[in-house]
Structure 1
Amino acid sequence: MTSVARSLAARVAVASAPSRGSERKPPTAASRGRIRAVRAMGYESNIPPTRGQPGRFGDGGGGLILPGDDRYDPGMVKGIPSPSNPGGKSGFDPRTGTGGPGQLPGGYEAPPKPGSEKDPNAAFAPFRPPSEYLDTDPQGFLKEDDQMSFLRLRNRAGMWYQLAPILPKLMRSGFLPDDIFDETGIEPREQSLWQTWTSTRGSLLNDPRFPDEKLEYFDDEYNGAPCLSHLQYLTNDERPPAAEFVVDQQFSPDQTKELIKAFEIRRAHASQAKGFGTTPGEIMAFKMWRDVQEVQRYEGMGRVEELVEKGKRYAESDSAVQRLEALRDAWSMDLSEGSDLMEGGLFAKAQADAKANISTVRLDPEELAFRPVPYLGPMESLSVEKVIAVQPVARTGVFNTFVPQGAKEWIAMPAWAALASAQIPFAILVSNTGKLSGAGDLSQREEPATLVVDKAANTPGPGNYYLVARESSIQLAGGKGAVVIDVYPGRECMDIERNGQGTVIGRVVLAVRAPGGTGDGMTTEFVA
């Protein structure tokens, strides 16, 4: 009983109790407050002796109907929306079995889906197995309550075709596929597949043309059962022999899909199927015969032979084999040696010539703007013989061709203006520019660099830097190597040469740093 009902009952009990003057107690402060509150609301101090004001249900009834009242109708509760019944009257009524999915108001079943008609006089749809097989329950799983059904599905306690009928049972109880997924872990897609497979399997089980002992092939949920998804598209007359052919050939789902496609081709091109029978094997052979005609010339005889042999493997009649071999012979004649259609013949050569192409580009002057420079290795190992061997390089022709002379190694550098001013340049490697004695700002850097030196400019002058061999132990006409090789400013070189302390090898034209952006801390800043 609700709090409102208890309050009303208490007031009725107080009002109906007989008053006794001798037992009446003097009013307290709290009771006087309650009396004043009742009068403020417009009522007398005494509660009326009736159960309520007269209403549309008669005297003493009022408009409020409470549980336990004679006018209370439990059947009205299912029409009230609630968290468990958000649809109100559309919810499922377990007492009457009405209001569930697939039922119309009043308990009538919804119209059957195409292919599931139970009335023999109803419209016939041969391409869909009847859904009545989902109602079969040889194991008695449908008699279990919903919680036991959820437990059985959650543990997959049975074969897929034994568990599939439980799904419609739960849906009739008001559970959606997502609800079943939350309780059991079986995804809605898998639920739908189970029901489809069960319908197709049931049509084979009840068909005397299909051997019952071969149903075991479809028990495998990962290889055999998916074949049923494709077999459902065949007619009731085509399905049993096709399913038996799938079992005998141990077809995979992809091969079964190809078989169904073969049935479609056979129906669409029945006029061309002369010599081919109507058994599944003959239908597959006819499909191979059709596929041979669609082979492209560039695929050659290898593809033709493959399809013909595949068709002969499925063919069951001599006429089908003869048609396949005749088509192969025709292809062999077209592609034989000397034929214009032969593989590698005139036709193929013409196709190849039409597709042949030579990429052609035109060089910009900037793309030829490079200069080959002899590379003499590290500065520490520089010898007189290497410097003497450096010769001028002459480039000829529109593509600046040249013949390497003297040095064994060369380096190609962009034709910068500074490099263009050098007459006989050569390059050496400095492992650490910070070890150079008098290279100016270059001596302040700790990094490798390539120095380009002009051998022809060996007369020092102010404003330039020069590569110098100290102590004049180097003789350009031949002799032993210098003791020290270093870079010095032009004015200092003039003093060194005047005092006979060294020999100028050449003017330093460029200092080329290594490329930046490789994580070594260098930049692409040019250093002159």
Structure 2
Amino acid sequence: MFSITMINTAKPLSLSTPFLPNLPTSHKPQTRPQNSKPNSVVALILPPKFTHQQQQQQQLYQPFRPPPSPLPPQYRSLDLNGRLEILTNRLGLWFEYAPLIPSLVQEGFTPSILEEITGISGGEQNRLVVAAQVRESLVQSEIDPDILAFFYISGAELLYEIRLLSAAQRAAAAEYLVLNKFDAKMTQELARAMKDKPRRIGDKGWDSFDDDLPGDCLAFMYFRQAQEHKTASSPELWRSALERALEAVESENGRKRVLEELEAKKDGQEKDSKESVVDDTVKVPVVRMKIGEVAEASVVAVLPVCRAEVMEVEVEEAPWECAGGGDFRVVEAEKGWSRWVVLPGWGPVANLKRGGVAVAFKNARILPWRANKWNRDESILVVADRGRKEVVGDDSFYLVVGGGNGSGEEGLKVERGLKLKEIGVIESLGTVVLVVRPPTEEHDQISDEDWE
């Protein structure tokens, strides 16, 4: 039988298309030398400097590695009901079962649902989780085991208060609060003092207290409070704050500074060995408001606010009397006004019977004394008594026209009585009774709803 084998021969490709011209048949395509080898795909991608071994390493498959489990080893084998039972019955130490909370949240449980099941409120859940993280940072800092053991039973509330400190600050704060048997409120004060101390550079006595010592940071906070109480004519509170500073301070320099302040007044004159320039004697209280101070005050004062750049116009037109009446103590002014401020019932403010007014200055440069101990670029409120316009005391301060408000604009200013008498001024817009500095933002405040 005959078999017919069909052999297909390859035909040369033709580039003849309606869009490309025909190539002349006389031109032959260039061919590679027979001894040359085509480059591999890897050789085309990787630079020549890569060795064959390095190429193999680059081609190795990298499997996915899941993050380590946040659960302690003893809880990883438990099912969902087992973990919920541990939280419900508080089985174990608080920092051991605290990681169960974020693991359950990852599985879809909300804080409110966990509260219904386990009885742990949302705020307490947050406190446990954050405190466990703080404790873990103390473990990494290799803190004294005896100090760490103090937080075994009920340390979540204390560790939560130092959450915003650095790792080194946490270790120092933990040791200090344990040795001094601090509760949660005192621990909160300590943490705020440690956070605030480095920001207070330039304040009176700042360089006498060590930033690295928790007791010095706390003592410096009490030292600053003593200055405010002294300017506000509260000798009892002034001495009490200094005594607390003396109990808290750790360094010898800080102790000497507090003792110097306690013995500062001799023969009616203040000696300040730390100040290279002696400021003029200031008899007007200068206080800084605290966040939430108005809400906590049992007595408050409502004053109309005027702008310093409009000179005496607003000061004269502002309401003279504002009082509360009726069962609900509804505040009612004698006439309408658009700008008001509520201040705590400090002594100088509470003594204003009628005619009190607050003047807003854009910065403290308007003050006639050298305020090198605090920021002169921050805005201030000057509280004046319009019922006492006569320039009487040489050391008193008065609100007058003709100066500037620190921005180059003509407006109101504060001037000493002695200087006003020298130029023949016998009447002012009012006697200055208080200078108020604005509250500073506390960046270390986190609500219970803010989860880390």
Give TM-score scaled by structure 2 length. Answer: 0.42
Structure with the greater alpha carbon radius of gyration: 1
Higher relative contact order (CA 8 A, sep 6+): 2
Give TM-score scaled by structure 1 length. Answer: 0.37
